[in-house]
Structure 1
Amino acid sequence: MRLFKRPGGSPVTVTLVGKPGCHLCDDARAVVRTVAAETGADVEELDITAEDFDPALKAEYWEQIPVTLVNGRRHDFWRVDAERLRKAIGAAARG
Structure 2
Amino acid sequence: MARPASSRSTPRPPDPQITSVQQGSAVPPVEGHVVLLGRSGCHLCAAVTELVAAVAAAHPELIPDGAVEVDVDSDPALRSRWGDHVPVTFVDGVLIGYWYLDRDTLLAALTEGPTRVRVIP
Q: TM-score, normalised by structure 2?
A: 0.58
2:56 is the alignment partner of 1:32: no
Structure 1 residues 25-63: Cα deviation after superposition (integer angstroms, max 9, x where no partner): 11111111111222320311000011xx372x4433221
Q: Check 1:91–1:59 CA distance in 2 against 1; reply closer, same or farther (3 A cut).
A: farther
User: Given the superposition, is the C-alpha separation of residues 91 and 26 from structure 1 closer, same or farther in structure 2, using an over 3 Å criterion?
Assistant: same
SS at match of 1:63: coil
Residue 14 of structure 1, aligned match among 34, 46, 52: 34
Question: Which is further off, 38-47 or 63-72?
Answer: 38-47
Larger Rg computed on CA atoms: 2
Map of 2:102 onto structure 1:
81
* Aligned counterpart in structure 2 of residue 69 of structure 1, from 90, 95, 115: 90
- For residues 43 and 37 of structure 1, what CA distance do their matches in structure 2 show? 12
Deviation track 1:40-90 (CA, whole Å, cap 9, x = no partner) reads: 20311000011xx372x4433221100011022111011110111001011
CA contact (8 A) 1:16 1:67 kept: yes
Structure 2 unaligned residues grouped into runs of 5+: 1-31, 115-121
Residue 9 of structure 1 corresponds to which residue in structure 2? none
> 2:45 touches 2:86 (CA, 8 Å); kept in 1?
yes
Amino-acid identity (%): 30
Letter in 1 for 2:53: R
Give the AA of the match of 2:111: G
* Cα distance in 2, alignment partners of residues 73 and 54 from structure 1: 22
Aligned residues: 79
